[in-house]
Chains A and B, each alone.
Chain A
Amino acid sequence: KQEVTQIPAALSVPEGENLVLNCSFTDSAIYNLQWFRQDPGKGLTSLLLIQSSQREQTSGRLNASLDKSSGRSTLYIAASQPGDSATYLCAVKGGFQKLVFGTGTRLLVSP
C-alpha cells in the first residue's frame, strides 16, 4: 500500500529565506506527483505536476524535483514571502484515479 510522508510537519522561517519541503513515498510505481497549496479553511490549489518520466518542474519561485527510484520529491521555494504561508501537500498518483496524499507541511513565513 502506498504511503506518503512529508517532513517537516511544520516550518517557520523569516521572509527572504530559501527553503525545501520534503515528500517521500514507498511505492515507486507512480504515474505522477503533484504539489498542492492549501490555505486555512480553503480548498487545494495545484502548484506543480511532475510526470513519472520527468525530473523536475518549475513555476516562478517554485521548483519541484522527483527521484522516482528513491521515492522522493522536494519542493524548493526561493526568496520566501509572508504570502507563501500555507500548508503544502504532496500527492502521488498510482493506479488509475488513486491519488495518495501526505499529511502536509505547515509553513509560516514571518515578515
Chain B
Amino acid sequence: NAGVTQTPKFQVLKTGQSMTLQCAQDMNHEYMSWYRQDPGMGLRLIHYSVGAGITDQGEVPNGYNVSRSTTEDFPLRLLSAAPSQTSVYFCASSPGPSSYEQYFGPGTRLTVT
C-alpha cells in the first residue's frame, strides 16, 4: 500500500491563480480530510468527507473547495489564491469515524506571492 499520497510536493502561485492539490489513498478509507499547518497555529481542519459524494466544512473553509467523486480521491481546489493561503497542506484518511486512527500524507508546501 502506498498509503496517502499528495501531489505536488511544492507549488508557487501568483495571487489570483487557481489550482488543485491532489490527494489519493489506496486503503479503501471512507473518511478523508484536508488540514493546513501554519507556524505557531498547529494544524487546522479545512474540509472533510465521510464518503463519496459527501463533504463538509471544517474550521477554515473559506477560499477552498472540495469534492469526492470516488473513495480514493479527495482534491482540494484553491479558487483564487491569496498570500494568506501560503501554508503546508496535509491530507489525511481514516477507516471510520470517531475512534479510528488518522493517517497523513507527506504534505504540499504552497507559496502564494
**Pick the contact of A46 from B42, B99, B102 — CB < 8 Å?**
B102
The answer to the question of B64 belonging to the interface, with a C-beta cut-off of 8 Å to chain A, is: no
- Which of A34, A41, A102 makes the CB contact (< 8 A) with B101? A34
Chain A nearest CB: distance from B105 CB in Å? 6
Contact A31 B98 (CB under 8 A): yes
Bound CA span A103–B38, Å:
9
A29 to chain B, nearest CB (A): 11
Inter-chain CA distance A53–B21, complex, in Å, is 37
- Residues on B with C-beta less than 8 A from A97 are 31, 33, 45, 48, 50, 94, 97
Q: Which A residues between 25 and 64 are near B, CB-CB below 8 angstroms? A: 31-32, 34, 36, 41-46, 49, 51-52
**Bound-complex Cα distance A4 to B106 (A):** 23
CA distance A41 to B90 in the complex (A): 12
A86 within 8 A of B: no
Contact A103 B42 (CB under 8 A): yes
In the complex, the answer to whether A49 meets B48 with C-beta atoms within 8 Å is no
With a CB–CB cut-off of 8 A, which chain B residues contact A51?
99
Q: What distance in Å separates the Cβ of A28 from its nearest Cβ neighbour in chain B?
A: 15
A43 touches B99 (CB 8 A): no
Given the complex, which residues of A lie within 8 Å of B35, measured CB to CB?
99, 101
Assuming the contacts A4-B42, A89-B43, asked whether A96 and B106 have C-beta atoms less than 8 A apart, the reply is no
* CB-contacts of A66-103 with B (<8 A): 89, 91, 93, 96-99, 101-103
Q: In the assembled complex, how far is the CB of residue A26 from the closest CB belonging to chain B, in whole angstroms? A: 14
Residues of chain A within 8 A of B106, CB atoms compared: 42-43
B90 / chain A contacts, CB cutoff of 8 Å: 43-44
User: A44–B101 Cα gap in the complex (Å)?
Assistant: 12
User: What are 26 sample pairs from A and B whose C-beta atoms fall under 8 A apart?
Assistant: A31-B98, A34-B101, A34-B102, A36-B104, A43-B107, A44-B90, A45-B104, A46-B101, A46-B102, A49-B101, A89-B42, A93-B98, A93-B102, A96-B50, A96-B98, A97-B31, A97-B50, A97-B97, A98-B58, A98-B59, A99-B35, A101-B42, A101-B43, A101-B44, A103-B40, A103-B41
